[in-house]
Amino acid sequence: MRTWTGKPYPLGATYDGSGTNFALFSEVAEGVDLVLLDDAGRETRVPMTEIDRSAWHICLPDVGPGQRYGYRVRGPFDPAAGHRCNPAKLLLDPYATAIEGQLDHHESLYGHRFADGAEPNTLDSAGHTMLSVVTDRGFDWGDDKPPGHAYGESVIYEGHVRGLTRTHPALPEELRGTYAGIAHPAIIGHLTGLGVTALELMPVHQFVQDGHLAEKGLSNYWGYNTIGFFAPHNAYAAGGGRGEQVTEFKQMVKALHAAGIEVILDVVYNHTAEGNGKGPVLAFKGIDNSAYYRLSDQDRSQYYDTTGTGNSLLMRHPNVLQLIMDSLRYWVQEMHVDGFRFDLAATLARQFHEVDRLSAFFDVIQQDPVISRVKLIAEPWDLGEGGYQVGNFPPLWSEWNGRYRDAVRDYWRGREGTLGEFASRITGSADLYEHDRRRPLASVNFVTAHDGFTLRDLVSYDRKHNDANGEEGRDGEDDNRSWNCGAEGETDDPGVLALRERQQRNLMTTLILSQGIPMISHGDELGRTQGGNNNAYCQDNPTAWIGWDLDESGERLLDFTSRLIRLRRRHPVLRRRRFFSGRAVGHTGLPADVEWLRPDASPMEEEDWTLPHAGTLTMFLNGEAITEPDRYGNRVTDDSFLLMFNNTGAAVDFHLPGSRFATRWTLLFDTATTDTPDERELKPGGSLRLEPHSTVVLRSDREDRGRPRP
């Protein structure tokens, strides 16, 4: 085989039309063999003799796209010193842009023979592990361009490639559960009809199926077990060609962009699928264990784990930072994605032990001309000490607001003493974000996500029902802040069912009309249930898939949610760019930008917020008090709105505020009814009865709108 010297950069396998350059980083390696595999699995080993700045490299002019390959690394096997090199292990390329196959969990995949790890396992892992594949990056993007939705215009839809498409009746069977399935007009039509602006996909980086789950007949459905940070997960490809997943992924992105929908990836850079010292040796561990992973200062054979998965990446190592940044840029520049949601992002901020918002990771993100310009969303916690960091990420970032989720759930389940917290969360959580000049758009608001109950289950179960996971109920969150509305699980009681529908509408209304960025968990708009399972990570079956055969309740909820999103999209006062000040803008005597009223329409006093049984509230949003121009420099004014909340079990008469707020009120939404309300007019000074557990939305119509008022 002809060989050329090659280049140390870029890392990975790079085909340029005249050959393929291979480059692999390892500081500890004493020798590296590039392994090429034919269709029968026969190996050709090519020694890599060139090394520059710890990058081993070679160029093969006769190798092109479709070639399967791996590495064998010779070096120290000394777990006590943090080293686990073992040439018996065929290793993945950390920069592979496509990966073929899946693990079979053979004993050869593990690095040592005995429990104490004293001797290396010399069984060859070839034939039992995954293989890297050389790809051609060429693709006809045509006129594709990012939709470029402003944060304030965003409505995010968290979805799963399989769960979103697996049972849709309009999809051919071969497209179900695939990237091509998401690109199908039926799925895109649902998303555009709903009104979402971004699809946030749960992990699509190549991930590994866990052996202990396979033994139970289960699988790692969610995919938070990454092994390839550049490779789209191969099982989500409809085509069977080698590297086909790359082309299909690009076609999916192109189709979503054409429909005006952004693509955000849920990425897992905090750990890998290799686990701790007892886990398999697949890539990083056998290439340079002590460079890639955080090891215990007291015992280098042990891993410092803040993720609950066995390992954490060593974020202070420059080559780990390079790996992550190269990966992010690849997905933006080559795959055209529009942003990222970072799983357990507090781990990425642990440059040393503590979470540090000035860590190197944030520094490199901030200055990067590509990544700093896409949407960046943090899951701002991990499992380590001091890991709950909601409100503490840098200004460039938005965050999943866990406190929003908890406060909204608590309010609508009727927990006492929650009114003040509820008001803070639905107005953008200024107490969390304003101190360092962040905006309401720092808060990604959600009531449900993949982890936990669905919206329907949140109002149907008081406790988790996870028996199908095979862990005797030990897995999943116990504190769900849910309320079953009077019966646990499935019921035919019409009163309970009606209340559950109402509660779903209450929660969805709160979510969509809160300041910040709303995120809907896939299927919640249809009334999807997981049967009370709040940890469906291993359920690749109808438990976790969307059921598209809707009953009347599901149809009503879909229509209701779509109308809410349309209202939000039309009115900038419902998605303000700045926090409320609580002050009037302009002429003396005008209402403040936000005002809080009791049911009798008098202003809320300090003691009203702290009453233990307080459950009613009126919020006035002044559309004429928006103080900042839009992104085109135009001064913005808008209609004003009245949101009335009643989380109690009794009907309450609310008085409608007088002429200082409106010359007439128009009823837009009433969660107490399943019917679409006529936009009927109501007079200021009159009253409106709010049924138990209900929300009403009214628009303020002023005859003198736009003119100074006394």
**Whether residue 387 has pLDDT greater than 90:** no
Q: Which of 212-226, 428-442, 480-494, 694-708 has the lowest mean pLDDT?
A: 694-708
Question: Does residue 116 register a pLDDT over 70?
Answer: no
Confidence of residue 494 (pLDDT cuts 50, 70, 90): very high
Which range, of 83-92, 570-579, 630-639, 645-654, averages the lowest pLDDT? 630-639
Q: In the predicted model, is pLDDT for residue 117 greater than 80?
A: no
Is-contact 207 538, C-beta < 8 A?
no
Largest Cα–Cα distance of the chain, in whole Å? Answer: 89
Looking at residues 588-616, what average pLDDT do you find? 90
pLDDT band for position 702 (50/70/90)?
Answer: low
The residues that are catalytic are 343, 379
Say if residue 699's pLDDT is above 80.
yes
The pLDDT of residue 700: 92
Q: 288 falls in which pLDDT band (50, 70, 90)?
A: very high
CA dihedral 316, 318, 320, 325 (to 10 degrees): 110
Give yes or no for a cis peptide into 10 (omega within 30° of 0).
yes
Structure tokens at 333: 């520049």
At position 339, the amino acid (one-letter code) is G
Predicted confidence at residue 707, as pLDDT, reads 41
Residue predicted with more confidence, 292 or 243: 292
Instruction: Work out the number of other CB atoms within 10 angstroms of the CB of residue 568.
Output: 20
- Give yes or no for residue 209 having a pLDDT over 90: yes
Model confidence at 182: pLDDT above 70: yes
In 3D space, the residue among 438, 427, 341, 431 whose CA is nearest the CA of residue 393 turns out to be 438
Specify the residue for token string 């200004």: 395
CB 453 within 8 A of CB 482: yes
Query: How far apart are alpha carbons 149 and 153 in whole angstroms?
Result: 6
Q: Is residue 698's pLDDT more than 70?
A: yes
pLDDT of residue 637: 86
For residue 37, which phi and psi values (nearest 5 degrees)?
-120, 135
Residue predicted with more confidence, 142 or 636: 142
Q: Is the pLDDT of residue 705 over 60?
A: no
Q: Does position 57 have pLDDT exceeding 90, yes or no?
A: yes
CA distance linking residue 179 with residue 162, whole number of Å: 9
DSSP track, 136-197: ------TT-------GGG--EEEE-HHHHHTT-TTS-GGGTTSHHHHTSHHHHHHHHHHT-S
pLDDT-based confidence at residue 296 (cuts at 50, 70, 90) = very high
Q: What is the mean pLDDT of residues 2-26?
A: 97
Query: Could you tell me which residue, 105 or 678, shows the higher pLDDT?
Result: 105
**Is residue 691 over pLDDT 90?**
yes
Per-residue model confidence (pLDDT) at position 436: 85
What mean pLDDT comes out for the span 155-183?
98
According to the model, what pLDDT value does residue 586 have?
A: 63
Sheet with 20-25: list strands edge to edge: 12-15, 20-25, 55-60, 50-52
Can you tell me the mean pLDDT for 566-587? Answer: 89
Quick one: angle between helices 552-570 and 494-513, nearest 10?
20
More confident residue, 286 or 626: 286
pLDDT in tens, 442-455: 999 999 999 999 99
Secondary structure element (H or E) that encloses residue 319, with its range: helix 318-333
Give the tokens for residue 171.
């999809």
Quote the CA–CA distance of 342 and 226 in Å, as a whole number. 13
Confidence of residue 606 (pLDDT cuts 50, 70, 90): very high
CA distance 405 to 458: 12
Beta bridge partners of 455: none
CA 454, 456, 461, 466: dihedral to nearest 10 degrees?
-40
Amino acid at 214: A
pLDDT confidence bin for 611, thresholds 50/70/90: confident
pTM (global) more than 0.85: yes
CA atoms of 137 and 281, how far apart (whole Å):
28
- Cβ–Cβ under 8 Å, residues 447 and 511: yes
Q: What is the mean pLDDT of residues 48-77?
A: 97
For residue 354, name the pLDDT band (cuts at 50, 70, 90): low
Encode burial over 100-112: b for 16+ CB neighbours within 10 A, e otherwise: beebebeebbbbb
| Residue 308 dihedral angles phi and psi, to the nearest 5° | 80, 15
Tens-place pLDDT, residues 307-343? 889 999 998 899 999 999 999 999 999 999 999 999 9
The rounded mean pLDDT for the chain is 93
Give, in degrees to the nearest 5, the angle at Cα 642 between 641 and 643. Answer: 120
Can you give the pLDDT at residue 183? 98
Taking only the tens place, the pLDDT of each residue in 496-543 is: 999 999 999 999 999 999 999 999 999 999 999 999 999 999 999 999
Q: Give the pair of three-digit tokens for residue 453.
A: 């109950």
- Predicted local confidence at residue 706, as pLDDT: 46
pLDDT at 79 over 50: yes
The per-residue pLDDT for range 653-690, each reduced to its tens digit, is 999 999 889 989 999 999 999 877 677 889 999 999 99
Total number of residues shown for the chain: 710
The yes-or-no verdict on residue 415 having pLDDT over 70 is yes
State the first-to-last Cα distance of the chain, in angstroms, to the nearest integer. Answer: 88
Res. 99: pLDDT tops 60 = yes
Could you give the 3-state DSSP secondary structure of residue 583? coil
Please say if the pLDDT value at position 211 is more than 70. yes
pLDDT of residue 710: 28
Averaged pLDDT, 133-153:
96
Measured from the Cβ of residue 435, the count of other Cβ atoms closer than 10 Å reads: 10
Q: Is the pLDDT of residue 141 over 90?
A: yes
Average pLDDT value for residue range 119-130: 95
pLDDT tops 80 at residue 587: no
| Structure confidence at residue 588 (pLDDT) | 55
Q: Residue 468: what pLDDT?
A: 96
Contact 467, 475 (CB under 8 A): no
Q: Can you give the pLDDT at residue 708?
A: 39
The tokens for 514 are 């809160």
Residue 352, pLDDT score: 60
Alpha-carbon dihedral of residues 431, 670, 647, 495, nearest 10 degrees? Answer: -140
Report the alpha-carbon distance of residue 525 to residue 518 in Å, rounded. 13
